[in-house]
């Protein structure tokens, strides 16, 4: 325990010290976000901050905790991390196309699958029994990695948002794995907590007003690590082991799913960026930059608290908890107009049942 606590503090310190250095480096090599219609920054902002997180995380793991991790997983995972970080650095400097970023994530995922042997192999569902994924194991694993990695990347739209949400998600994952999931070894939780420390050391520079951004270097790295760590509990996946990481990552997954739905309903390309994400909608409702980030932190904490109820619930309780969570989420999404202010099927249905007239959208009140 002493070495873990010491390593946690060392990782935090390394990250805090390295971030200003990476900030200067970003300016020198052109890893800078310039203001435009889609960005919130008004002045050129150094990006590539994820490189400081990556370095702090791995310096501690290599020099302090190396013996805690199995060789057959540590080195392949490090190699996959390098692929992801290299992809992010190149994108932060030259701006890669979406297909090129997907290629980088896929290559890292293949390293995880074939060399670290971190993968989904079976799926057990209520009333259906256990299904051996067989040849589907590879595509299912890669889809999981791609989906989670890109989900985290999508919420990186405000100062400190992706960093803080990831801290909450990772800390909850580490706690869940350590106390509840018997399939997860202790070293995985230690690994996770070291990444939490690296993020905490970076957050003071990234919180509003930010001095440096995560960039794709950081967003892709964090998303990839979250997806990989969650796979430890999904090797022999069950309803519970799947739903827990999905709930923990409720904020980025919700934003991603409804962004896809919004673009589909509006007949726009799925990959086309817009300014209607969760943080955009909250700011349009009148919240300040900092208030928006803190509200989303609060939502992430709610998701995390809900996820901690699953390991102590039976199957029936887990199903009811899932239904209640989805229903509450739908009400929230409709209330802030995440898909569109006119698309509120559940709220409209409730209004009809309770005979409530929505004056805000009533044609009689339009001038």
Residues making up the binding site for Mg(2+): 153, 216
Distance CA 339, CA 344 (A): 9
- The closest of 101, 81, 359, 103 to 228, measured between CA atoms, is 81
Q: What is the distance, to the nearest Å, from the Cα of residue 242 to the centroid of all Cα atoms in its chain?
A: 15
Annotated binding site: 153, 216
Task: For residue 232, report the phi and psi dihedrals to the nearest 5 degrees.
Answer: -60, -30
> In 3-state terms, what secondary structure has residue 122?
strand
Decide: 21 and 208 in contact? Cβ < 8 Å: no
Integer CA distances (angstroms), 315 to 132, 182, 210, 311, in order:
21, 18, 44, 10
Decide: 48 and 88 in contact? Cβ < 8 Å: yes
User: Residue 46: beta bridge partners?
Assistant: 32
CA angle, residues 92, 95, 101, in degrees to nearest 5:
90
Q: Treating both helix axes as pointing N-terminal to C-terminal, what angle do 239-248 and 289-307 enclose, rounded to 10 degrees?
A: 160
Distance CA 131, CA 243 (A): 17
Q: Which two tokens stand for residue 195?
A: 């990444």
Q: What single-letter DSSP state applies at residue 210?
A: P
Task: For residue 3, report the phi and psi dihedrals to the nearest 5 degrees.
Answer: -65, -30
């Amino acid at each position: 325990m002493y070495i873990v606590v010491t390593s946690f503090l060392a990782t935090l310190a390394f990250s805090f010290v390295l971030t200003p250095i990476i900030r200067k480096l970003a300016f020198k090599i052109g890893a800078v976000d310039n203001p435009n219609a889609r960005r919130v920054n008004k002045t050129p902002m150094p990006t590539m901050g994820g490189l400081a997180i990556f370095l702090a995380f791995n310096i501690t793991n290599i020099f302090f905790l190396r013996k805690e991790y199995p060789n057959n997983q540590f080195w392949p995972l490090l190699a996959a991390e390098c692929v992801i970080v290299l992809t992010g650095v190149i994108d932060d400097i030259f701006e890669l196309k979406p297909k090129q970023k997907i290629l980088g994530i896929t290559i890292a995922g293949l390293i995880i699958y074939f060399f670290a042997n971190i993968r989904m192999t079976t799926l057990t569902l209520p009333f259906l029994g256990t299904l051996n994924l067989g040849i589907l194991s590879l595509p299912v694993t890669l889809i999981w990695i791609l989906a989670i990695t890109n989900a985290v990347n999508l919420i990186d739209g405000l100062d400190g948002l992706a960093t803080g949400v990831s801290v909450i998600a990772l800390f909850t994952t580490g706690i869940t794995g350590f106390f509840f999931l018997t399939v997860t070894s202790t070293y995985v939780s230690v690994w996770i907590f070291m990444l939490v420390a690296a993020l905490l050391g970076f957050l003071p520079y990234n919180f509003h007003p930010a001095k440096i951004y995560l960039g794709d270097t950081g967003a892709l790295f964090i998303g990839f690590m979250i997806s990989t760590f969650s796979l430890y509990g999904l090797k022999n996946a069950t309803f519970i082991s799947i739903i827990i990481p999905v709930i923990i990552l409720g904020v980025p997954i919700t934003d991603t799913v409804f962004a896809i739905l919004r673009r589909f309903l509006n007949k726009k390309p799925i990959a086309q960026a817009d300014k209607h994400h969760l943080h955009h909608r909250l700011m349009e409702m009148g919240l300040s930059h900092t208030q928006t980030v803190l509200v989303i932190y609060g939502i992430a904490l709610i998701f995390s608290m809900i996820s901690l109820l699953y390991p102590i619930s039976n199957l029936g309780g887990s199903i009811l908890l899932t239904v209640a969570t989805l229903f509450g989420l739908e009400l929230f999404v409709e209330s802030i107009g995440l898909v569109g202010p006119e698309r509120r099927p559940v709220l409209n249905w409730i209004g009809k049942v309770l005979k409530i007239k929505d004056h805000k959208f009533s044609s009689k009140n339009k001038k």
